[in-house]
Structure 1
Amino acid sequence: MRTAADTRFLVNETLALFSRLQTVRSFSLSTPMVLAAAVSAPAQAAINAHLAHVAFDLRRKLLAFVGWLRSPESQRLSAAKTQARYVLLKLRFNNLLDQVDIFADVLGQRSEHGTGTWVAGLDVLAEDALTLPGGYYTPPPLICFLERGHGAAIRRARTRLPGGDLSPVGVIQIPRERMIGSGIASSLIHEVGHQGSELLDLTSSIRAAIEQVIADGAKENALPWQLLSRWLNEILSDCWALGHLGITATYGLLSVVSLPSYFVFRIGTDGPHPFPWIRMKISIALGAKMFPHPQWAALSQQWEDLYPPTDLGADKQDLIHRLEAVLPVFADLVLSHRPASLKGQRVADIFPLAERQPAQLQALYDTWQQHPYLREHAAPSLVFAVVGQAKADGRLSTNDEVRVLSHLLERWALNRARTYGTAPALAAPPPTPAPTSTFTLKPRTHAPRIKH
């Protein structure tokens, strides 16, 4: 039996939730940033429309619950069962706050002087790397932010947020320590590759092709193929970066996996990532197929000089040799694969391989040295590929690399702001019986929860 005191308590607690919900404001009303540092208009509209929808639905449920508590019908339920209903609404409210925090972390960083426009420039790079000719999918909005730590990560668009709602945008976390250099593009486009591969369903399609290879005759040497299949999701993301950046992607990866030898040769067979030593070799094998050039053999030798495998135990050396032996065939399988999502095209065909060949990148660098304004009109991923190739060739100093990329990140951010003109009009939330609630929270000092 529920007493009047029980009902009064639950009504007060529910109305308190409703009042706190009214303090959550629109990011467009609260987040300070220069226009060039803003996220794209589609991303901003998607985030605000999503949060407005969730909040409106919660407001409606809270008011309906209060009305139900005051009705004779609710008296049939015990205090415990009524409390259980209230708790579900409270959990939903906390889910909303978690979602707001995820986006507040990203948007709040845009107010940092200099950093905000650089990150907005990274947004443009990410969008460039996700947009493919051929209309294979509609790319979702992407937004980037910088975080402490060594690795990058992505919360893909259309994956679950706290509470089960689908994220309206992809959120890419980039290590702050990599700003600014050509290696930042390797990490960023790797994460973009997770989104692109998922949209094209590449992992499951190529994994089925690997299983067929094993069934057709590789049973006696199945372990290397099984491991490559297990690591495929990460490999395809590395491939995505390679397809846009050439050797810049692999040098960026080298920076990421430059760890103490124990970790470089720590062979785990149950995780999604290849162990660092073989991951570099896989990247080199894919790069050599896409962009034939002696530089790949030189980089492979350099990697072995940095981390010689000759001191390993016999079992590890044997597994490494077996994996290396199948890499050329594996690279051919991946790049020549024709999944249904590509409508008859090969995986290699979705990347701009012709204009990213080493000779083309070197020629562009020479041209841009004479006419620097031309690079401001090139695709961002092409710019990073050219700059990274020049650095790999020893023709560009680190100081000049930072100067050029800092300028261009700001330029891309400013150009996008000019395209939109002013802050976009956002979708208004549906009518509500209470004063309009909008969205803001102070950015947290810790990172949003990001996962693949």
Structure 2
Amino acid sequence: MRTAADTRFLLNETLALFSRLQTVRSFSLSTPMVLAAAVSAPAQAAINAHLAHVAFDLRRKLQAFITWLRSAESYRLSAAETQARYVLLKLRFNNLLDQVDIFADVLGQRSEHNTGTWVAGLDVLAEDALALPGQYYTPPPLICYLERGHGAAIRRSRTRLPGGDLSPVGVIQIPRERMIGSGIASSLIHEVGHQGSELLDLTTTIRQDIEQVIASGTREGALPWQLLSRWLNEILSDCWAVGHLGITATYGLLSVVSLPSYFVFRIGTDGPHPFPWIRLKISLALGQALFPHPQWAALGQQWEDLYPLDNLGADKRDLIRRLEAVLPIFVRLVLGHRSGTLRGGRVADIFPVAERGPEQLRALYVTWQQHPYLREHAAPSLVFAVVGQAKADGRISTQDEVQLLSHMLAHWALDRARNYCVAA
């Protein structure tokens, strides 16, 4: 039985919820920033449309609940049953606020001096790395933001938000400590690789190839392949970075995984990430296969000098050697993989390999030094690849690298803002 007091309480709570819902406004009205720092027009439109849809649906449900609560029919339910209906609406409202907060973290940062335009420039870099020339898919909008912490992360487009709704955009978190240097592109494009690999369903189809290798081999030889299969999602994202950036990606990864030896050799068999020592070796193997050059072997030797295997136990050394032994075959399998989503092409073919070998990057660096304006017409990922190669070669100082990339990030942000203004 529900009393009049119960009904009055629930009605007041629902009306209060309805009033609070009215305060959820479009980000177009609540996020001041310079135009160059704004997210892309498609991203802004997708976010606003998504939140407006969720808010409209909740508003409709609240109005229906209020109408029902005032009707005689509602008294068939007890106070507890009516409260249960109200609580579901309240939870949905909290889901909406959680979604607003996710996007507010991204958009609110755009009002920070310099940071806003730099992050907008990273948006452009991310979208460049996702827009493959073969038009294998329709790339979703991507937006970036900086966060404390050591690692990057992505909330992929069309994955679940709080409440079960699909995210209209990909949201990439970049560690603030990496601003600004060529290594930031390694972290960013690794996360873009998660989105791209998912759109192409590469993890599923390549894992099927690995399962065939395991089935055709011996039980003793299965473990390295089983581990590589478990780590495949992260490996493909590293491959995405190497395919766009060359050795810049591997140097960026080296910076991330330069940790105390205990963690570098901490071999977990149940997580998605390769342990750091072998992860860098995989990146090197991918780089050598895509862009053959002695620099990969030199960096590999440097890595072994920094983290020698001498003090490891025999079992751990044995597993590492077994993994290293299958890497050439594994890399050929990944880069040579063909699938329906690739229209019969190879994984290696989706990356701009022809223009990003070390000699091409070095030649571009010389040309751009003589004609700097040409740099501003190049793809953002190519600019980072050229600068990173120059840094690896010792041809650009850290200070000059920071100044150059800061300028380019602001340039890309401003150029995008101008283009959207013209389009509008």
Q: Is TM-score (shorter-chain normalized) higher than 0.5?
A: yes
Q: Does 1:185 align with 2:185?
A: yes
Q: C-alpha offsets along residues 253-292 of structure 1, whole Å, 9 cap, x if unaligned?
A: 0000000000000010100000000000000011100000
- Give the alignment of 1:154-193 within 5 angstroms: 154-193=154-193
Structure 2's unaligned 5+ residue stretches are none
CA distance in 1, matches of 2:178, 2:217: 44
CA distance in 1, matches of 2:155, 2:185: 18
Change (3 A) 1:322 1:145: same
Give the partner amino acid of 2:246: G
Equivalent residues of 1:2, 1:75 under 8 A apart: yes
CA distance in 2, matches of 1:319, 1:196: 31
Equivalent residues of 1:41, 1:423 under 8 A apart: no
Give the partner amino acid of 1:29: L
Give the partner amino acid of 1:322: R
Match of 1:284 in 2: 284
What TM-score comes out, normalization by structure 1 length? 0.93
Equivalent residues of 1:35, 1:417 under 8 A apart: yes
CA distance in 1, matches of 2:384, 2:313: 39
- State the identity as a percent: 86
CA distance in 1, matches of 2:88, 2:30: 29
State the shift of 1:133 in Å.
1.5
CA distance in 2, matches of 1:211, 1:187: 29
Equivalent residues of 1:335, 1:348 under 8 A apart: yes
SS in structure 1 at match of 2:146: strand
CA distance in 2, matches of 1:218, 1:72: 73
Q: C-alpha offsets along residues 385-428 of structure 1, whole Å, 9 cap, x if unaligned?
A: 0000000011111011001100000000000000011796xxxx
Give the partner amino acid of 2:149: G
Match of 1:268 in 2: 268
Match of 1:107 in 2: 107
State the shift of 1:220 in Å.
2.8
Give the partner amino acid of 1:399: Q
SS in structure 2 at match of 1:268: coil
Match of 2:298 in 1: 298
Match of 1:308 in 2: 308
Give the partner amino acid of 1:375: R
CA distance in 2, matches of 1:310, 1:327: 21
CA distance in 2, matches of 1:222, 1:310: 25
Equivalent residues of 1:241, 1:249 under 8 A apart: yes
CA distance in 1, matches of 2:83, 2:184: 50
Match of 1:244 in 2: 244
Equivalent residues of 1:158, 1:169 under 8 A apart: yes
User: RMSD of the TM alignment (CA)?
Assistant: 0.9
CA distance in 2, matches of 1:279, 1:97: 38
State the shift of 1:145 in Å.
0.1
CA distance in 2, matches of 1:183, 1:268: 26
SS in structure 2 at match of 1:145: strand
Give the partner amino acid of 1:400: D
Q: C-alpha offsets along residues 36-72 of structure 1, whole Å, 9 cap, x if unaligned?
A: 0000000000000000000000001001100000111
CA distance in 1, matches of 2:340, 2:259: 39
CA distance in 1, matches of 2:23, 2:186: 40
Match of 2:320 in 1: 320
Q: Which runs of 4+ in 1 moved over 4 A?
A: none
- Give the alignment of 1:360-399 within 5 angstroms: 360-399=360-399
Structure 1's unaligned 5+ residue stretches are 425-452
SS in structure 1 at match of 2:163: coil
SS in structure 2 at match of 1:310: coil
What TM-score comes out, normalization by structure 2 length? 0.99
Match of 1:4 in 2: 4
Match of 1:431 in 2: none
- Structure having greater relative contact order (Cα 8 Å, sep ≥ 6): 1
SS in structure 2 at match of 1:143: strand
Match of 1:257 in 2: 257
Match of 2:405 in 1: 405
- Give the alignment of 1:3-42 within 5 angstroms: 3-42=3-42
Q: C-alpha offsets along residues 322-381 of structure 1, whole Å, 9 cap, x if unaligned?
A: 000000000000000001110110000000000001110000001001001100000000
CA distance in 1, matches of 2:117, 2:85: 45
Match of 1:201 in 2: 201
Q: Does 1:49 align with 2:49?
A: yes
Give the partner amino acid of 1:166: L
State the shift of 1:219 in Å.
3.4
Match of 2:233 in 1: 233
Between 208-217 and 139-148, the greater mean CA deviation after superposition: 208-217
State the shift of 1:26 in Å.
1.1
SS in structure 2 at match of 1:395: coil
SS in structure 2 at match of 1:174: strand
Equivalent residues of 1:290, 1:348 under 8 A apart: yes
Match of 1:435 in 2: none
Give the partner amino acid of 1:255: S
State the shift of 1:218 in Å.
4.5
Match of 2:79 in 1: 79
SS in structure 2 at match of 1:410: helix
CA distance in 1, matches of 2:41, 2:193: 22
CA distance in 1, matches of 2:339, 2:250: 25
State the shift of 1:135 in Å.
1.8
Give the partner amino acid of 1:272: P
Equivalent residues of 1:35, 1:422 under 8 A apart: no
CA distance in 2, matches of 1:144, 1:407: 18
State the shift of 1:92 in Å.
0.1
CA distance in 1, matches of 2:94, 2:220: 53
CA distance in 1, matches of 2:423, 2:25: 17
SS in structure 1 at match of 2:143: strand
Match of 1:430 in 2: none
